[in-house]
């Protein structure tokens, strides 16, 4: 795992704050010089501003006893603020949700949403593999009927993993593909239905309409946004669009292994208030790791 450069920025921010009076004006002055530094580390502007505002409210006017360490106090408040953020976003126990849905109706459906090239197809394959390893019958639905190569890529992974595969070819209605796949669940042929979708169509409007249609038709148990950690602020903007237009329950952040900055996870949770369920940590089929906010905060603050 790379170490995050955001950690160094936060460290010097806390050190600088520890040399000032903890009143709103002084805190704001220090914070304002750090907003852009956070943005450079992949934290969205509005997130950086909002975090500093929250921190200022928590520490301004705080009395520090003679024997107390101001830096420790600031760090503790900062950690609490971030912990609160992650706990407000909640947690999705995907394995428990899967087992519950299978008990109730026989199958579990996930629709994956997100911009093209962020790693959706690979992520679907990784998760399909995890489900297979747990002994589930899995179907991968190639509902990205737009990007050249997308169907072959999904099919390649499905056959490698030993998953069932549903495709209606290019230019087919993606919602029809999703429908076919869900039918496999209804018929008891599959227990886990994973629907890969397109990240790009002719226009943005079409894409969002299409995603809504897929969701309407497939009635998924979970909608997961797949975003690339390296894209930083852009991924956050895209997440916002998908969230507002279609809605989702949580995210998977890909390319975490190559992210040297570290701000993307913070931003995406802050903006969507939804948990990160997994992070992608490589291109291999096993490179998917459950996201643990504690572990992330340790990487940022310890």
Report the alpha-carbon distance of residue 239 to residue 251 in Å, rounded. 9
- The answer to whether 130 contacts ligand GTP (rule: CB under 6 A) is no
- The answer to whether 250 contacts ligand GTP (rule: CB under 6 A) is no
Which stretch, 17-25, 55-63, 183-191, 278-286, contacts ligand GTP (CB under 6 A)? 278-286
Q: How far is the CB of 260 from ligand GTP (least distance, A)?
A: 12
Burial 59-82 (b: 16+ CB within 10 A, else e): beeeebeeeeebeebbbebbeeeb
- The answer to whether 150 contacts ligand GTP (rule: CB under 6 A) is yes
- The answer to whether 147 contacts ligand GTP (rule: CB under 6 A) is yes
Q: How far is the CB of 270 from ligand GTP (least distance, A)?
A: 21
Out of 119, 250, 262, 263, name the contact with ligand GTP by CB under 6 A: 119
Out of 98, 122, 190, 218, name the contact with ligand GTP by CB under 6 A: 122
The number of residues that bind ligand GTP (CB under 6 A) is: 20
Report the alpha-carbon distance of residue 225 to residue 231 in Å, rounded. 14
Q: How far is the CB of 32 from ligand GTP (least distance, A)?
A: 34
Out of 48, 74, 101, 144, name the contact with ligand GTP by CB under 6 A: 144
Q: Which one, 48 or 125, has the nearer CB to ligand GTP?
A: 125
Position closest to ligand GTP via CB: 280
- The answer to whether 272 contacts ligand GTP (rule: CB under 6 A) is no
- The answer to whether 281 contacts ligand GTP (rule: CB under 6 A) is yes
List binding-site positions.
Answer: 114-121, 196-200, 254-257
The binding site for ligand GTP (CB under 6 A) comprises 116-122, 144, 147, 150, 199, 254-255, 257-258, 280-283, 287
């Amino acid at each position: 795992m790379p170490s995050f450069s955001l950690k160094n920025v936060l460290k010097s921010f806390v050190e600088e704050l520890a040399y000032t009076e903890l009143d709103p004006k002084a805190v704001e002055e220090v914070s304002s010089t750090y907003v852009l530094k956070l943005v450079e580390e992949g934290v969205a502007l509005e997130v950086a501003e909002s975090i500093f505002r929250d921190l200022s409210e928590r520490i301004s006017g705080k009395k520090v006893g003679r024997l107390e360490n101001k830096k420790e106090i600031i760090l503790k408040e900062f950690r609490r603020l971030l912990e609160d953020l992650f706990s407000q976003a909640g947690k999705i126990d995907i394995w428990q949700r899967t087992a519950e849905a299978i008990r109730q109706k026989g199958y579990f459906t996930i629709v994956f949403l997100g911009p093209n090239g962020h790693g959706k197809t690979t992520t679907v394959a990784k998760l399909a593999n995890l489900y297979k390893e747990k002994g589930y019958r899995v179907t991968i639905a190639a509902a990205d009927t737009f990007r050249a190569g997308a169907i072959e890529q999904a099919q390649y992974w499905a056959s490698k993993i030993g998953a069932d595969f549903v495709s209606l070819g290019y230019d087919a209605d993606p919602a029809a593909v999703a429908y076919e796949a869900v039918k496999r669940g209804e018929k008891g042929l599959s227990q886990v239905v994973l629907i890969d979708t397109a990240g790009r169509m002719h226009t943005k409007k079409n894409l969002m309409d299409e995603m809504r249609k897929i969701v309407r038709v497939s009635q998924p148990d979970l909608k997961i946004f797949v975003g690339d950690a390296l894209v930083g602020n852009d991924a956050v903007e895209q997440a916002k669009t998908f969230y507002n237009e279609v809605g989702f329950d949580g995210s998977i952040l890909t390319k975490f292994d190559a992210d040297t900055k570290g701000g993307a996870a913070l931003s995406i949770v802050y903006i969507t208030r939804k948990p990160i369920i997994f992070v992608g940590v490589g291109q291999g089929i096993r490179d998917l790791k459950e996201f643990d906010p504690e572990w992330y905060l340790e990487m940022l603050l310890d």
